[in-house]
Amino acid sequence: MSTIIEMPKLSDTMTVGTVVKWHKQVGDEVSNGDILAEVETDKATMELENFDDGVLLQLLAEEGDEVEIGKPLAVVGEQGEQLPVFEDSPSKPKLVETVTEQISKPELSAEEKPEEEKPTPSLSTDFDTPSETTDRILASPLAKKIAKEKNIDLLKIKGSGPHGRITKKDLNGDVSSVLASSQETVSSPRPPSLSSSLLQSKTIPLSKMRSVIAKRLLESKTTIPHFYLQKEINSEPLGLARQSINRRLESVANETATEKVSINDLILLACASAIPLVPEINTSWGENEIIFHGDVHLAFGVAVDDGLVTPVIRKANSLSLKTLSGEAKSLIHKSRNKKLTPDEMSGSTFTVTNLGMFGIDFFSGIINPPNAAILSVGASVPKAVVGKDGSIRSGETMTLGLSCDHRLVDGAVGARFLQTLAELLENPASLLV
């Protein structure tokens, strides 16, 4: 009996998902645990997992299609079995040939083919008034639309889909190279030059992630009264502590490789230690009340394709440095491999964003609702510093920025938190007590 794969609800606010890429095609054998497709939600791009063994019999949505939650995406079953009939497919009634059609459709000889199915040779295609030849080309509706916009002759394109079907990805990028490869011609690529530019005039569809990022940031800046604090700290002890900790971890490691601790791990640990000392920082604005959170659920920014995600370390205030570092690395890996679950991206009480690794000295982040504040971390830079004895010497400094919701955090409270955090980072040995 066939199994219908539906669009799952992958986040609390999700109503539709976009099929970004199919990893399996009609006719492929699939097993429990196989990744069928990548689906873009309002928060991230996630993988659609298969839970039945069988054959992929039918695809009901193409790459780029938006599908409502609960609507069918694909059918998995035994080869040759009858397919279910869908009265309201997610977007179009029939998008891809099915295995049943491939098996049952007899191969006609040239004499048996109806007259209208015989292709008419053409050197070019008039896309303003499509010819019958164009209509008979095995191509997706989206591919035909793109071809029309870019004035591409689909007769010269070799499709990568089932049975040579031309899809959107066959028309992406440099179309001239696609045409050249389909005609099996060989040309030497032009070497890059100083005068070459990556700029080009184009428009791209707004992704779900980018759309939600824009909406949330606009909402944050227009509804939350931000104010900003910054403090330059002596970051040299932090760097020395990291080196010492990693040397210790290497010395006690047996045959198992040990992940090194990063500066960001130490900053996350310092935040988790400082926040309980200034509980007003760990609050949210309610309709008629201020909500104080009993644990520190620490979010941190991870750059991914087409945006930013903020995975959350649960109860960070109760974790050791080694455990917290391991949690952070696991969430970073999941973020970049599209494995984050909705629960791992929600429920934060404080957020840390770090652009120091990109050489940014200082910036002010936008608050991540419903948090009361966000910490911005800049790069550790060499600088002349004044010693305790008044002498000038070479050192390193780092600038921290704190963006606060003035409804929840007063200036004195924000300053007290930043001072507490600075003391911990400038004396990192205190973090290990």
Domains of the chain, by residue range, sit at 3-104, 117-182, 208-432
Q: Kindly indicate whether the domain formed by 208-432 is annotated with CATH number 3.40.50.300.
A: no
pTM of model > 0.85: no
User: What is the structure's pLDDT at 163?
Assistant: 56
pLDDT in tens, 27-53: 888 888 888 888 887 667 778 888 888
User: What is the structure's pLDDT at 173?
Assistant: 59
Verify whether residue 226 is a known catalytic residue: no
> What are the residue ranges in the chain where pLDDT is below 70?
1, 10-13, 42-43, 87-136, 140-141, 161-163, 172-196, 253-258
User: What is the structure's pLDDT at 177?
Assistant: 45
Q: Give the contacts of 118 (CB within 8 A, at least 6 positions apart).
A: 110
User: What is the structure's pLDDT at 194?
Assistant: 59
The CATH topology of domain 3-104 is OB fold (Dihydrolipoamide Acetyltransferase, E2P) (2.40.50)
Q: Alpha-carbon distance 310 to 331, whole Å?
A: 9
Query: Of the residues 163, 293, 333, 406, which is catalytic?
Result: 406
Q: Which CATH architecture has domain 117-182?
A: Irregular (4.10)
Q: Which two tokens stand for residue 270?
A: 């310092």
Q: Alpha-carbon distance 117 to 94, whole Å?
A: 20
For residue 140, report the phi and psi dihedrals to the nearest 5 degrees: -70, 155
Amino acid at the residue 308: L
pLDDT in tens, 59-110: 888 888 888 888 888 888 887 777 777 755 544 444 444 444 444 444 444 4
User: What is the structure's pLDDT at 254?
Assistant: 57
